[in-house]
Amino acid sequence: MQRIGIFLKNNMKLKAVLLFFCLLAAGTASAQHSFVAEAPRVVGLNKPFQIVFTADAEITGFTPPTFEGLNVLIGPTPSHMSSTQIINGKRTDFLQVSYTYVVEAKAAGKVKVSSASAVLDGKTYSTKPLEIEAVATDDAADARSSGDDAENTSAGRRGASGEVSNEDIYLRLTFSKTNVVKGEPIIATLKLYTRVPVERFEDIKFPVFNGFWSQEIETPQNINFTEEAVGNQIYHVAVLRKYMLLPQQTGEITVNPAEMICQVQVMTSRGLPRSIFDDFFDTYQTVKKRVSTQTARIQVRPLPGGAPASFGGGVGDFTMQVSMSRDSVKANEAASMIVEIQGKGNLNLIESPQVELPADFEKYDVKISNNYTNSVNGFSGKKQFEYPFIPRSEGIFTIPPVAYSYYDISKGRYVVLKSDTLRFRVTPGDSRQAGPLVSGMNKQSVVSLGEDIRYIYTGSPRLVRDGYFFTGSLYFFILLGAIVLIYFVLYKLLRRRARLRGDTLRTRNRKANKIARMRLKLAQSYLKENLASSFYEELHKALMGYISDKLAIPFADMQRETISRTLEEKGADRTVIEEFMQLLDDCEMARYSPEGGTEAMEKEYEKAINIISGLENKL
Amino acid sequence: MKGIVRLSMIICFLAAAAGGYGKDLDSLWQKGNDAYSIGEYREALSAYKAIEEQGYESAPLFYNMGNAYYKLKENGRAILYYEKTLKLDPADDDAENNLKIAQQFTLDKIDSVPDFILATWTKRLMDSMSSDNWAWLGIVMLALTALLLLFFRFAPSTGARKLSFVLVCITFLTVILFFIFAFILKSRSDSRDYAIVMVPVSSVKSAPNATGGNVFILHEGTKVSILENVSQWSRIELSDGRQGWIPAGDMEII
């Protein structure tokens, strides 16, 4: 069983209030007094009710108020109440002086009671003017039968049947709006309306707001009833809970009913006929009454499309401020960048804005601190996003503008907030002097910040017709042909040149024998004349010239070794070569020391002819 | 050697330019590049497409188109155009890099059957240049062979002739190899054997009709090889050897 508060009768509550004021007065200094007026806010037409002016000191002069539209039935009736309490030798005095009027509303509508004033301890106090609403109730008949407790009577009337109707007591869950955009704050109020006295509540099931972010913004500990006119009825109304809701889904969201059981006091009578005493000895019976709200439906529209990239879910009206936590930033020292979102709306749900700190900075998680209060328009206040970082190198850095966008409900569009570009200098840190350890420079590898494709090719497009290839194209084959052609042309040219050179050799070869014979003939003539040295010279010439021409050896290269090797290569007989060499040696000897005489010369001549003819056959 | 190749290529392209494209295509190309540089990818793409529609192609063109598609988050098309680029110029580093990045966003992971190591090496060597470059290099080598052959024929000394003979053999073999590479790459470019899946999801059937049972499901950006075509259906093979039939409209040939 949950006991939240007790409501019995209007005047009982009045007493409680008075008592409270007395306590208050006793607690505060005696020099301070209070003078208040008390009256129900809503009354039935032609139903008498009390207006009480209460002071906590002796009233020396009381100026009554004016009652517009009210009939004063009785009053003012002064009453005086005092008590003295001694607790542990400490004495406290209570004093309460009141003037009570019993009045009645003459016509439906608002009536005013002007302020009354009283002189307390030589000082004049006045009450606030009262405004009372008079309602023409349906059961006007009840007005006569009972006193000031309209609800009591009606409860009693129904109590005869032992039931409490749904109109006597009911729960209402009201919403400030039922057609909202996603994220727009709604205030939901859970109220209990009653015309019967409620003793206590139990089994309270508060509504569950699925699809909403919800927060209770009012959770009264004591339930205070106020009068409120609903239609032609006067109800005692108590606010049980007040919620702030932020829709998180779109579409029609259903709020399940809230429910509670009220223990209601109903008057019972012991059947007919009613004795005259029955009215005196009304017996009250406690009846349990289950009350519940109706299922509520709220239409949540989605936010319009085309939200900017920087949209962080904010709905309302915001401003943004961007700052650095400190004016000068040193390398290797922590600092932070602060983004403050200020305004009204779903502050609690907005995401942290995107801040692009320089890539070289060491970044840490965003710190979020809230400083906002609940209000009818959602939260108002500010939310602070702190982006801590440690710059690892000095230099001038630029933080690009922070963009943050929200949905403005009243304008019905997205609003983009944009800060300025932040430029700041990171001064060299003094971390090196800080410790005894000299830490080396931190080498770091180049970190890939994000993978992206390489940039487009911007040079010449080198366009060709579809399917065109140089390979196998006409140009390709022309080039191939050209190379082969050039090869053959060069080949022909080179070969012709080589052949020409080869022809001179051949002629020399062919003529070698002839020349040799001519020389031999000349030698023979020298032989006849017995000119030994000339003979040998000519003979040597003939031999050498023949070999030079025949073997295509230049005259300069005529060495014994070259000759014998070349001859061997050409396939001459070994004996012939040796003979040839012998003859050459003899010739050279005889040229400078001729001694053999004619016979020897003739012999050599014969030999030369034999060798040449022998070689001629071989070569 | 590369200088020569370049020079001869320039000559060739000048010849091609004389017979083909003029200022119009150049300005379209420039327009596309300018639009890309300021982030107007759709505009850039339309300029590139205009060039393509006039019947021209080139590795840079396809590469830029791939980039534009990538930026427009049309991953399948981006992969298609990177593959096209690599088909024209298998040595394009940038296209290979971007293709790898684009492929990270594809859903299908297919393990390819590993090739014989020598085949891999040969393929890598062959892919290190485009067909035309191989052809040019082959022609240069052929000219060298001819020179060496002449030297062999007319060299005065036997030693020089022996050396030149060996060199002639080597260069002639390289000429043949280069021309083989060039023609293989060309035929690969001409072939229509590979395709990229273009629809987000395509179910591969066991028979070339809609009633055939589903064999497996492919997602956008997957490369398949086409084995045969029957009316509106293509028989495809994945790189892991699995086969099936896919509607020809679900993919685009590289």
CATH number of the domain enclosing A74: 2.60.40.10
Contact B101 A491 (CB under 8 A): no
Long-range contacts, stretch A352-356, CB < 8 angstroms, 24+ apart? A352/A312, A352/A385, A353/A310, A353/A312, A353/A320, A353/A385, A353/A402, A353/A403, A353/A404, A354/A310, A354/A402, A354/A403, A355/A385, A355/A387, A355/A399, A355/A402, A356/A399, A356/A400
In a domain, A515, yes or no: yes
The tokens for A272 are: 């007919």
Which residue of chain B has the CA closest to A480? B139
C-alpha–C-alpha distance, residues A547 and A563, integer Å: 8
By DSSP bridging, strand A251-255 and strand A225-230 are unpaired
Q: What crossing angle do the helices spanning B59-71 and B23-37 adopt, rounded to 10°? A: 30
In a domain, A530, yes or no: yes
Same domain? A349 vs A401: yes
Closest Cβ–Cβ partner in A475, A483, A490 for B15: A475
Q: If we measure between CA atoms, which residue out of B33, B92, B27 comes closest to residue B54?
A: B27
B34 phi and psi angles, rounded to 5 deg: -65, -45
Q: If we measure between CA atoms, which residue out of B6, B42, B239, B32 comes closest to residue B132?
A: B6
* Domain boundaries, position A524: 498-618
Which residue of chain A has the CA closest to B139? A480
Sheet holding A198-205, edge to edge: A198-205, A259-268, A283-292
The per-residue pLDDT for range B150-172, each reduced to its tens digit, is: 888 887 777 888 888 999 999 99
A435 band by pLDDT with thresholds 50, 70 and 90: very low
Same domain? A521 vs A566: yes
Same domain? A332 vs A224: no
Q: Which residues of A touch B71 (CB under 8 A)?
A: 453
The per-residue pLDDT for range A41-84, each reduced to its tens digit, is: 777 777 788 888 888 887 777 888 887 778 788 878 888 888 88
Amino acid A140: pLDDT: 40
Residue B26 at interface with chain A, using a CB cutoff of 8 Å: yes
C-alpha–C-alpha distance, residues B229 and A344, integer Å: 65
The per-residue pLDDT for range A485-516, each reduced to its tens digit, is: 999 999 998 888 888 877 777 777 777 778 88
Same domain? A312 vs A287: no
For the ranges A120-124, A447-451, B6-10, the one whose mean pLDDT is highest: A120-124
For B174-192, b where at least 16 C-beta lie within 10 A, e where not — what string?
bbebbbebbbbbbeebeee
Range in A23-32, A163-172, A317-326, A540-549 the model is least confident about: A23-32
Q: What is the CATH number of the domain that holds A522?
A: 1.20.120
Same domain? A186 vs A102: no
Among A300, A321, A347, which residue terminates a domain? A300
Q: Which residues of B touch A469 (CB under 8 A)?
A: 131-132, 135, 186, 189
Q: Which residues of B touch A491 (CB under 8 A)?
A: 150, 153
Q: Which residue ranges of chain B lie beneath pLDDT 70?
A: 1-23, 112-113
Same domain? A512 vs A611: yes
- How far does the CA of residue B43 sit from the closest CA of chain A (Å)? 14
Confirm if A468 and B190 have CB atoms less than 8 A apart. Answer: no
CA distances for B94 relative to B67, B83, B109, B132, angstroms: 10, 12, 22, 19
In a domain, A274, yes or no: yes
- How far does the CA of residue A469 sit from the closest CA of chain B (Å)? 7
Residue A501 at interface with chain B, using a CB cutoff of 8 Å: no
Largest CA distance in chain B: 79
Residue B130 at interface with chain A, using a CB cutoff of 8 Å: no
Q: What is the CATH number of the domain that holds A411?
A: 2.60.40
Q: What is the ipTM metric for this complex?
A: 0.77
C-alpha–C-alpha distance, residues A606 and A600, integer Å: 10
Which residue of chain B has the CA closest to A499? B154
User: Which site among A454, A458, A463 would you substitute to test the B interface, given the most B Cβ atoms closer than 10 Å to its Cβ?
Assistant: A463
Amino acid A344: pLDDT: 84
In a domain, A462, yes or no: no
Query: Would you list the DSSP string of B123-185?
Result: HHHHTTS-HHHHHHHHHHHHHHHHHHHHHHHH-SSHHHHHHHHHHHHHHHHHHHHHHHHHHHH
Give chain A's end-to-end CA distance (angstroms, integer): 144
B111 phi and psi angles, rounded to 5 deg: -80, 125
| A238, pLDDT greater than 50 | yes
| A23, pLDDT greater than 60 | no
In a domain, A266, yes or no: yes
Contact A487 B150 (CB under 8 A): yes
Q: If we measure between CA atoms, which residue out of A470, A613, A436, A451 comes closest to residue A542?
A: A613
CA distances for A355 relative to A328, A397, A452, angstroms: 19, 14, 21
Interacting residues of B178 by C-beta distance below 8 A, sequence separation 6+: B134, B135, B137, B138, B141
What single letter denotes the amino acid at residue A186?
A: I
Among A300, A333, A366, which residue terminates a domain? A300
What's the number of domains chain A is made of? 4
Same domain? A398 vs A335: yes
Same domain? A295 vs A314: no
Contact B146 A483 (CB under 8 A): yes
Report the C-alpha dihedral over residues A164, A169, A171, A177, rounded to 10 degrees: 130
Same domain? A42 vs A86: yes
Interface subset of B 71-110, CB within 8 angstroms of A: 71, 94, 97-98, 101-102
Same domain? A244 vs A335: no
Which residue of chain A has the CA closest to B58? A463
| A5, pLDDT greater than 50 | no
Interface subset of B 28-47, CB within 8 angstroms of A: 29, 33, 36
Among A101, A120, A144, which residue terminates a domain? A144
- How far does the CA of residue A492 sit from the closest CA of chain B (Å)? 10
Same domain? A291 vs A168: yes
The per-residue pLDDT for range B16-49, each reduced to its tens digit, is: 444 445 668 888 899 999 999 998 899 999 999 9
